[in-house]
Structure formats: structure tokens, C-alpha cells
């Protein structure tokens, strides 16, 4: 990241974190809620040290993100009317080779506030930095078309005296711009806010063994959406509002063998050495319809002039998460998590073109795991041995399996990603 972008991000963090101390929020996926009148602010960084180059296709296999273009013979299946009428089978201008490498860095900040001892509210605000490193070239060997007099396409043989010259990469870039309205296919960089999430969490059941809570909230489309005229851009928002439901279920498993069960008083429990807490969380995202401008094409060939504003109902998403946290020490805990999620098929309705190809294979699923370590200074703070009740966490997440569309412009594609997250939180 350039020094300019770094300073810009730091300024945004400083400018945003101060008002968050006055903003309510509730983000944790366990069933705990803050006591009445207590706030919590956090700042996290999702760092992707492993470049993202692949996604999961409809069969669950990995494939390059730029698979539709890489090693592709540029023939009549890609450009059917280079010379006006349909081209004979086998007519081509060469073979394209394209690689996409996505690099992300995401800052995440928010806050929570205990309205009562059982009800909390909160906000979560991500900020994205995204870069797509593009390598694009054209191999004209085997081409049957070249560039003739006046810059028009002409049949080969090519390269000799008085013959058409071979098509090069810049010729293809010009073709995409002039005939299809696409921007130049080149490396892409952008940054900005992600989709903002706001939730209310209510803890409706609390005993020595159990904590049960439910969250209800919304996601707001404040992030960057796909540019239909840019084949190499990186969107990080589907562009729609969503209603969010969460069911949180905590069980203190160690109470089965420990002599002193965890207390059931109000507010979060101060865990003890040897505590083992298991959690099951169910999430449901009800995605609301929205109007978006898209290219009407299929995943195998996104090169088309068919573009219109359509109504898209992104498929609803369901997540099932099982996790456990073991407290090796009063202040030190380790976590392990497994999540399975699936999304139903998108529904897309236009007026001029058949949109069925955009809906195909958008019923996706994914599996991931998270491993983490957490160190809390809250016990030392309560004992007046440390001035600030800081909480530090370090996690590693790996999306190791999935299935989805091969359309890079669709928000339903499932990227094969790994990241490391560091989060600092402070209750006050």
C-alpha cells in the first residue's frame, strides 16, 4: 500500500473510531450481551497474506478467477462478427492468456452498547482496500485473422511482406473498448467503505449452563458494487439491503465436570481457568430486491453488448456455525470454529433480454474453519492491576470448500480465500 493510501486509511480510522465510542452496537456471535450502560469499541484488520487467485465452480472444483479468458481461443464464440457476418468455424485472432490476483486488506471497526442487562445494540463498519493484479497477453500463433490495410481485420497468412500483421494485445484492448464498451483490461485498485451492518441482540434465556440470545438487524449497501463495463474490477457489495436474523446458543460444557458452575448473574460472565464453552449460531440473511445494471451474458463468455438495468433478488443465505472456546488461563483462551453456509438461487428480471444465464449456478455453498487465540486484560483490570480492559484476538480463517457460479461479475461467486485477523476491543 502506498504511503498516501496508508495515511488516508489512518485518517479515516481516527475520524471514524471516535464517534463509534458514542454509537451503539452488538456484533459478537456468542449469546452474551453487555450490562446496561456499558459500551465496547473494537478495531480489527483482516489481512490477506495469501493472494486470491481461484474460486469454486459449480462442481466444487477450484478454477482461476479469470478462467473465462485464460487460454481462450478468441474465435467466433467470443467475437462472432469481427468481419460483419458470422465467421466460419475456427476463425480466430489468437489465444488470450489472462491472470487475476486479488489482494485485500480490510479494516473493521464498530461499537456496542448495553441498553439493558439483556438487550444490546450495535454497528459494524468495514473499510476495504482491494487490488487486482492483472497479467494479460495475446499469442497470435495459429491465428487465421490479422490486421490489414486501414486497420481492418483480414485473413492470414500474416507477418510477411504485404501481408496483414498479427493481432496484438493492444488491438484486443481497442476492440473491447470500441465495439463492446469495456474499459481497458488492466490492474485495478480501489478502496472505500464496505456494507454497514446494524444489529439488536436480546438475551432471552440465562442459566448456569446456558445463554440463549437472538439478533435482528439490517445490512446497508454502502460498499462498492460491480462496474459492468470493467472486466477486472473488484466489487465488495451486492448492492442490496438485507434483513438479518441470528440465533445464538452458548452451553458451558465444562460445568459437567467442574465443581463450581459459572454464575448466572446479569451481564457477561468472567470465565475461569478450565472453562469450555460451545456455541451454535444460526444466521439468516433475507436479501431484498434491488435494481442493478448488468451485462446479459453467460459465465463462459462475458463479452457482450447486451446491457440493461434489471431487478435482482439475491438468493437468501443460511449459515450454520459450531464453535468452542477453551480457557487455558483466566485471561487466555483458544477457539475453533466450523461454518457451513448455503444460498438459494438468484432471481433476475429484465425487459429486453433473457436473464436466465445470469441465474444459473448462483445457488452456492461454502465451508470454512477459523482457529484463534484470545487474550483479555479484563481480569487484571477488575483486580486493578491494569489500567485498561483491553481484549486482543488473533484468528486464521480458511474457506476450504464451496460451490458457485463462474461468472466473475456475480456477487454469488465463491472465492477461495484465507486471511489473518487481528482485533483489539475496549469495553468502557
Mind spelling out the 3-state secondary structure of 363-398? CCEEEEEEEEEEEECHHHHHCCCCCCCCEEEEEEEE
Paired with 225 in beta bridges are: none
The band of 85, judged by pLDDT with boundaries at 50, 70 and 90, is: low
pLDDT tens, 173-204? 998 998 899 999 999 999 999 999 999 999 99
Supply the pLDDT for residue 87. Answer: 66
What does the pLDDT read at residue 82?
A: 66
Measure Cα distances from 232 to 144, 187, 227, 238 in Å: 28, 7, 9, 16
Range of 75-79, 365-369, 409-413 with top mean pLDDT: 365-369
Read off the pLDDT of each residue in 149-178 and give the average, rounded to a whole number. 87
Average the pLDDT over 270-275 and give the result.
Answer: 83
Q: Give tens-digit pLDDT for 34-49.
A: 999 999 999 999 999 9
Residue 117 Ramachandran class (φ > 0 left, ψ -120 to 50 alpha, else beta): alpha
> How sure is the predictor about 103, in pLDDT bands with cuts at 50, 70 and 90?
very high
Q: What's the whole-number mean pLDDT along residues 275-281?
A: 96
| pLDDT of res. 299 | 62
Confidence band of 14 (pLDDT split at 50, 70, 90): very low
Residue 27 has pLDDT above 60, yes or no: no
Report d(CA 346, CA 353) in Å as an integer.
Answer: 16
Cα-only R_g, the chain: 26
Cα-Cα-Cα-Cα torsion 146, 147, 148, 151, nearest 10 degrees, comes to: 160
Q: Say if residues 27 and 425 touch (Cβ distance below 8 Å).
A: no
Q: Are 155 and 123 in contact (CB under 8 A)?
A: no
Task: Answer yes or no: is pLDDT of 68 > 50.
Answer: yes
b/e string for 115-127 if b means 16 or more Cβ within 10 A?
bebbbbbbbbbbb
What nine digits make up the cell of 283?
A: 444466521
User: C-alpha angle 85/185/153, rounded to 5°?
Assistant: 30
Please, what is the average pLDDT of the chain? Answer: 88
> Which of 274-278, 285-289, 296-300, 387-391 comes out lowest in average pLDDT?
296-300
Looking at mean pLDDT, say which of 79-93, 137-151, 312-326 comes out highest.
Answer: 312-326
Question: Which of 14-18, 72-76, 163-167, 339-343 tops mean pLDDT?
Answer: 339-343
Element (H, E) at 167: none
What gap in Å lies between CA 99 and CA 114, rounded to an integer? Answer: 48
Tell me the sheet residues that pair with 136: 98
Taking 50 as the threshold, does the pLDDT of residue 18 lie above it? no
The CA distance from 387 to 426, in Å, is 11
Summarised one tens digit per residue, pLDDT across range 357-397 is 899 999 999 999 999 999 988 778 778 888 888 899 999 99
Residue range 107-142, pLDDT digits in tens: 999 999 999 999 999 999 999 999 999 999 999 988
Distance CA(138)–CA(74), nearest Å, equals 9
Q: What pLDDT, on the 0 to 100 scale, is given for residue 303? A: 83
Whether the pLDDT of residue 235 is over 80: the answer is yes
Mean predicted confidence (pLDDT) in 219-238: 96
CATH of domain 3-427: 2.40.160.40
Residues 25 and 114: their CA atoms lie apart, in Å, by: 8
CA 373 to each of CA 247, 333, 418: distance values in angstroms, whole numbers, following the listed order: 24, 6, 17
| Confidence label for 427 from pLDDT (cuts 50, 70 and 90) | confident
How far is it, in rounded angstroms, from Cα 427 to Cα 41?
A: 6
First to last CA, the chain: 33
Stretch 63-77: mean pLDDT, rounded? 90
Q: What is the pLDDT of residue 84?
A: 61
The 10s digit of each residue's pLDDT in 327-362 is 999 889 999 999 999 999 999 999 988 889 899 999
3-class secondary structure, 426? strand
Amino acid at each position: 500500500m502506498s504511503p498516501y493510501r496508508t495515511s488516508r486509511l489512518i485518517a479515516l480510522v481516527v475520524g471514524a473510531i471516535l464517534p463509534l465510542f458514542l454509537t451503539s452496537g452488538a456484533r459478537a456471535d456468542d449469546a452474551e450481551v453487555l450490562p446496561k450502560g456499558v459500551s465496547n469499541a473494537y478495531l480489527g484488520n483482516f489481512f490477506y497474506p495469501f493472494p486470491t487467485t481461484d474460486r469454486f465452480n459449480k462442481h466444487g472444483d477450484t478454477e482461476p478467477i479469470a478462467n473465462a479468458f485464460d487460454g481462450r481461443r478468441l474465435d467466433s464464440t467470443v467475437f462472432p462478427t469481427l468481419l460483419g457476418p458470422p465467421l466460419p468455424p475456427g476463425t480466430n485472432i489468437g489465444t488470450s492468456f489472462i491472470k487475476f490476483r486479488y489482494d485485500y486488506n480490510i479494516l473493521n471497526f464498530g461499537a456496542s452498547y448495553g441498553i439493558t442487562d439483556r438487550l444490546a445494540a450495535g454497528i459494524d463498519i468495514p473499510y476495504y482496500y482491494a487490488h487486482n493484479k492483472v497479467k494479460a497477453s495475446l499469442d497470435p500463433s495459429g491465428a487465421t485473422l490479422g490486421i490489414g490495410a486501414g486497420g481492418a481485420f483480414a485473413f492470414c497468412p500474416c507477418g510477411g511482406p504485404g501481408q496483414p500483421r498479427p493481432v496484438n494485445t493492444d488491438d484486443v484492448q481497442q476492440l473491447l473498448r470500441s465495439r463492446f464498451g469495456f474499459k481497458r483490461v488492466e490492474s485495478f485498485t480501489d478502496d472505500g467503505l464496505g456494507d454497514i451492518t446494524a444489529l439488536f441482540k436480546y438475551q432471552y434465556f440465562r442459566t448456569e449452563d446456558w445463554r440463549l440470545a437472538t439478533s435482528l438487524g439490517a445490512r446497508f449497501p454502502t460498499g462498492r458494487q460491480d462496474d459492468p463495463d470493467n472486466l477486472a474490477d473488484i466489487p465488495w457489495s451486492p448492492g442490496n439491503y438485507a434483513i438479518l436474523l441470528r440465533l445464538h446458543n452458548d452451553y458451558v460444557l465444562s460445568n459437567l465436570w467442574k465443581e463450581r458452575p459459572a454464575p448466572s448473574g446479569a451481564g457477561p460472565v468472567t470465565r475461569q481457568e478450565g472453562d469450555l464453552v460451545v456455541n451454535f449460531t444460526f444466521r439468516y440473511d433475507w436479501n431484498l430486491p434491488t435494481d442493478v445494471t448488468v451485462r446479459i451474458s453467460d459465465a463462459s463468455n462475458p463479452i457482450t453488448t447486451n446491457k440493461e438495468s434489471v431487478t435482482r433478488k439475491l438468493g437468501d443465505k443460511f449459515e450454520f456455525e459450531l464453535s468452542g472456546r477453551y480457557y487455558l488461563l483466566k485471561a487466555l483462551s483458544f477457539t475453533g470454529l466450523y461454518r457451513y453456509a448455503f444460498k438459494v438461487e438468484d432471481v433476475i428480471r429484465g425487459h429486453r433480454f433473457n436473464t436466465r444465464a445470469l441465474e444459473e449456478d448462483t445457488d452456492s455453498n461454502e465451508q470454512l474453519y477459523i482457529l484463534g487465540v484470545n487474550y483479555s486484560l479484563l481480569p487484571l483490570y477488575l483486580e486493578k492491576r491494569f489500567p485498561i480492559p483491553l481484549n486482543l484476538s488473533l484468528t486464521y480463517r480458511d474457506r476450504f470448500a464451496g460451490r458457485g457460479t463462474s461468472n466473475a461479475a456475480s456477487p454469488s461467486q465463491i472465492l477461495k480465500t484465507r486471511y489473518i485477523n487481528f482485533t483489539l476491543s475496549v469495553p468502557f
